Amino acid sequence: MTLIPFGRQLKSLGRLGHVGSVLTKNGFGWLVLRLHLDRLVPFRKRLLRGRRQEEERADPSTAARVSKVLEELGPTYVKLGQVLGSRTDLLPPAFIAEFRKLQDRVAPFPTAAARAEIERELGGPVEAFFDDFGPGPFAAGSIAQAYAARTKDGMPVVVKVRRPRIRDVLEADIDILTGLADLAERYVPEYRIFRPSLMVEEFAQTVRREIDFIAEASNTQRFGEAFADDPHIRVPRVLWNLTSSSVLTLERLEGIAVYDAEALAAAGADRKALAAHFTDSFMRQYFELGLFHADPHPGNLVVQPPDVLGILDFGQVGRLSDTLRSKLGTALVASINRDFDIVLDVLDDLAALPDDVDHERLKGDLAGLVDKYAGVPLRQLDLRELFDGITATARRHRAVLPRDFILLGKSLVTMGGVALDLDPETSMVEVVRPKIRRLLAEKVSAKRLAHHGMTSAYHLISLVEQGPRSVRQLARKLMRGRLQILFRHENLDHLITELDRSSNRIAFAMIVAAIILGSAIILQTSIGPNLPYTEIPVLGLLGFLLAGLLGLWLVIAILRSGRL
């Protein structure tokens, strides 16, 4: 089977064959066949595994096997599972639960290699920049590992060093994943609802940002500047003179883990004040800064008693543009007013709805969701349950919500959990409500309306200027017979490939038959030369041997294809 060209050239067919072998070993041999990767899997392994039924349910067993496949394929695929674990709008709950269990289980790379990377990036020996550079990393992941050190002026710092050659490994794996996603959408139609190409594209964007430490340093700098006037929030300072795309040096914030209740109590921490400062800082991120920390779990927070909170690790951030904030505000007001046609228009503007969506059924599900929570007291409203309800509705109707909206929900739910742990009296809805009111007020403010009016006027003038010219060009092409319509038939290339293979096999079989017939004629007519001491023609015997080998080759090829 000849593979369909992938759009990007695969760097290693051997790696792709390994993916197929791991899938086969874990009971997904049927998927390997449908993706047309079977020729890359060893023949004996396919015979041992046999065929499985093609229908797989999204049950916990299947999800666990998919998770095992990702672990066996290595760090890039584990990272893929971790990213997909946040897409509750695309994947069933069983898969989300399994993917959230995935952890980076990679051994740290040698400190000598880390020191060499630092010296190459910073232009000198480690001792020229740092004192007390740790003998080993205190944390290691699939992309980088972190060391404790001190600068020459005595500042305690954290030095993150990227794994050597990790960029090349990731790019090669992304190429393979891109090809696999394309094949899945071509040959496994029932998987299209999961948008494999979109998943891989989002994963590629995420992981490329993570391996570029300049991006993380820039995010950290922006957050630091935004909260420079807040005495209750601390963000590590970036040491730009000791930072590059593969080495990141940050101020080390000392403090107590936010989940260590006994240590917080012993140090006299004000848990209520900490919760208030924490929630307020994230409201500023969501509604003012437009850039927010997407993973505020307790491991990324430290407390400096009595009421100062340090926020760490800005490698994963989300962005809320003015347009997205405005549309989300519109959808929220429309939902409260039960005007679900506007909600669907907003989702359509965000390219979230499939072409064949059932509008009436979707509006009914949205109405049911609103009715469920309309009468719930604000203090008893569970944001996690509400967000899960929204994503479940999206998944049921194959709607793909914007990635930053999913990150916003994940960040809000995680942040709310930490705030409630600090102060059980915290009401996240009451914290969010005034911010939403302000957002809606800004939406109808004179300044915002004037801005939108100017933008609309510009687009209208451009349409008036360019419209007649475009119509004239279209008419000119039509009159000259140069108007072309591009027609694309999905999977037609697959049909052509199958016809080409079938015709080749028929032609091959005819050649074998002709050789057998010719050899038989030679044997019957006793056309020499003959084998010594016999009357058997050499050409006839060689013809039968050749026909036998070619016939055996054809049979093996048919058996390997899995289609008799």
Q: Which residue has the higher pLDDT, 10 or 562?
A: 562
Percent of the chain with pLDDT over 70: 86
Q: Are residues 270 and 390 in the same domain?
A: yes
Q: Which residue has the higher pLDDT, 384 or 267?
A: 267
Identity of the amino acid at 520? A
Q: Are residues 233 and 211 in the same domain?
A: yes
Q: Per the domain annotation, does 461 fall within a domain?
A: no
Q: Per the domain annotation, does 472 fall within a domain?
A: no
Q: Which residue has the higher pLDDT, 528 or 2?
A: 528
Concatenated DSSP letters of 35-89: TT-GGGS-HHHHHHH----S-----HHHHHHHHHHHHHH-HHHHHHHHHHTT-TT
Task: Provide the whole-model pTM.
Answer: 0.73
Q: Which of 207, 226, 252 is the last residue of a domain?
A: 252
Q: Are residues 316 and 226 in the same domain?
A: no
- Residue 469, pLDDT score: 80
* Prior bond of 306 cis (ω within 30°): yes
The confidence band for 442, taking pLDDT boundaries of 50, 70 and 90, is low
Q: Which two tokens stand for residue 186?
A: 């071509």
- Sheet containing 256-257: which strands, arranged edge to edge? 233-234, 308-311, 301-304, 256-257
Mean of pLDDT values over 327-336: 80
Concatenated DSSP letters of 187-245: H-GGGGGG-HHHHHHHHHHHHHHHH-HHHHHHHHHHHHHHTTT-TTEE-PPB-GGG--S
Q: How many domains does one find in the chain?
A: 3
Beta-carbon contacts of 479 under 8 Å, excluding residues fewer than 6 positions away, are none
Q: How many CA atoms lie within 13 A of 175 on its CB side?
A: 17
Q: Per the domain annotation, does 50 fall within a domain?
A: no
Q: Per the domain annotation, does 282 fall within a domain?
A: yes
Judged by DSSP in three states, 336 sits in: helix
Write the pLDDT tens digit of every residue in 480-492: 777 777 766 655 6
If you count them, how many residues does the chain have? 564
The confidence band for 235, taking pLDDT boundaries of 50, 70 and 90, is very high
Q: Which of 252, 272, 303 is the last residue of a domain?
A: 252
Q: Which residue has the higher pLDDT, 134 or 436?
A: 134
Q: Are residues 402 and 439 in the same domain?
A: yes
Q: Are residues 206 and 341 in the same domain?
A: no
Mean of pLDDT values over 228-234: 95
Residue given tokens 């003012």 in the structure block: 288
Q: Are residues 384 and 311 in the same domain?
A: yes
- Residue 162, pLDDT score: 93
Check pLDDT > 50 for residue 1. no
Check pLDDT > 90 for residue 330. no
Q: Per the domain annotation, does 89 fall within a domain?
A: no
What are the C-alpha distances in Å from 247 to residues 119, 446, 470?
Answer: 10, 47, 51
Rounded CA separation 277/257 (Å): 16
Q: Are residues 224 and 318 in the same domain?
A: no
Mean of pLDDT values over 52-67: 65
- Distinct helix (H) and strand (E) counts, the chain: 21, 11
Percent of the chain with pLDDT over 90: 23
Q: Which of 233, 252, 271 is the last residue of a domain?
A: 252
Query: Which residue range is the domain that position 539 belongs to?
Result: 492-561
The confidence band for 560, taking pLDDT boundaries of 50, 70 and 90, is low
Write the pLDDT tens digit of every residue in 110-120: 999 999 999 99
Buried b (16+ CB within 10 A) or exposed e, 362-396: bbebbeebeeeeeeeeeeeeebeebbbbbbbbbbe
Q: Per the domain annotation, does 547 fall within a domain?
A: yes
- Residue 456, pLDDT score: 76
Q: What is the mean pLDDT of the chain?
A: 82
Per-range mean pLDDT, top range of 137-146, 155-164, 167-176, 372-381: 155-164
Rounded CA separation 101/141 (Å): 15
Q: Are residues 402 and 529 in the same domain?
A: no
Beta-carbon contacts of 264 under 8 Å, excluding residues fewer than 6 positions away, are 256, 258, 271, 303, 305
Beta carbons of 157 and 150 less than 8 angstroms apart = yes
- Residue 266, pLDDT score: 93
- Residue 5, pLDDT score: 45
Q: Are residues 363 and 420 in the same domain?
A: yes
Check pLDDT > 90 for residue 444. no
Q: Are residues 266 and 236 in the same domain?
A: no
Q: Are residues 405 and 510 in the same domain?
A: no
Per-range mean pLDDT, top range of 121-130, 368-377, 464-473, 500-509: 121-130
Identity of the amino acid at 56? E
- Residue 4, pLDDT score: 43
Q: Are residues 248 and 110 in the same domain?
A: yes
- Residue 457, pLDDT score: 79
The confidence band for 7, taking pLDDT boundaries of 50, 70 and 90, is very low
Mean of pLDDT values over 331-345: 84
- Residue 59, pLDDT score: 57
Q: Per the domain annotation, does 38 fall within a domain?
A: no
Q: Per the domain annotation, does 474 fall within a domain?
A: no
- Residue 269, pLDDT score: 93
